[in-house]
Structure 1
């Protein structure tokens, strides 16, 4: 799977397909490992009556709407690749692919269980402090300075209009009649 493609359901049969006894009962061989579920299955997993009522439903289906973590869309083929000249056995390749995907998913889930709640509480605390500080301290201080220095803003505007403006207009008229012609010799 390439980085830009959508994930599709993919089954990898880790059994030996040459065994005739697997097909005697007419059923397909059971896959030992299954890749990411399809979109419909994932929605069914996360959808409940509580989630349908909740305002957080869009957060469950689209967890990175602004693409902040596009650099982390890593698949097995992005990390491990064998050239044509050196190849391992097919079973080794299939098992390493399966173990890579399973360990990546489960280790991420375990780490997020351990760290997600404390980090979200800490982040919420930091953003709450920053918001409170900005709303109750920085905003009013800036407003007071702007009210207190309104006379200075008016004086600066008058100085620019009376002194600098006429000087620049006269310089424009003086130098406006000059023209430069470039010629190759």
Structure 2
């Protein structure tokens, strides 16, 4: 069985170093030219596992999928979501076309300008914030919580005994005494 795995893994590893941003390559639907091939070493043959990360040879899919979890689905706004004319009230066709074009241009360009100005500083600030929160949680909050849980284990045991000895019988007797009651609703 080990020799079968080595035969399967001993295939050539191909890495495409070509520029995949050129749209003409995709329209022709030709195989991209492989600029570099390498045989895996003996140590790599044993440690190669098939995963999605190994199968991805280009970063293009990672760049195009910028919101893979749909965090900002509420921001998928089009012109028709913002401005809609009913059948009874209509503007001229030229006004509608120009309004649509200006809306799209302003939306794209204003967003681009704002992200150029704010994206890097805000990413630094949020990165610093998350790093600080992670550090606080890992090195301060979690150890303190564990210390409290270790120190209060006797209290947890005592509370479970109190619940079983005092509260459970009271609730059970109240439930049994109330189980004899029945309510019937009649429509008159």
TM-score range (shorter-chain normalised) is: 0.5 to 0.7
Match of 1:101 in 2: 104
Which of 78, 81, 85 does residue 78 from structure 1 map onto? 81
Which of 73, 87, 94 does residue 91 from structure 2 map onto? 87
Q: 1:53 to 1:115 in 2, by over 3 A?
A: farther
Which of 124, 137, 161 does residue 134 from structure 1 map onto? 137
TM-score between both structures, scaled by the size of structure 2: 0.60
1:119 aligns with 2:122: yes
TM superposition shift of 1:136 = 0.7
TM superposition shift of 1:130 = 0.4
Aligned residues: 137
Runs of 4+ in 1 over 6 A off after TM superposition: none
Q: CA RMSD in A?
A: 3.0
Match of 2:172 in 1: 169
Q: 1:184 to 1:128 in 2, by over 3 A?
A: same
Could you tell me how far apart the structure 2 residues matched to 1:75 and 1:64 are? 17
Q: Matched residue of 1:158: which SS?
A: helix
Q: 1:99 to 1:172 in 2, by over 3 A?
A: closer
TM superposition shift of 1:79 = 3.2
Which structure exhibits the higher relative contact order, with contacts defined as CA atoms closer than 8 Å and separated by 6 or more residues?
1
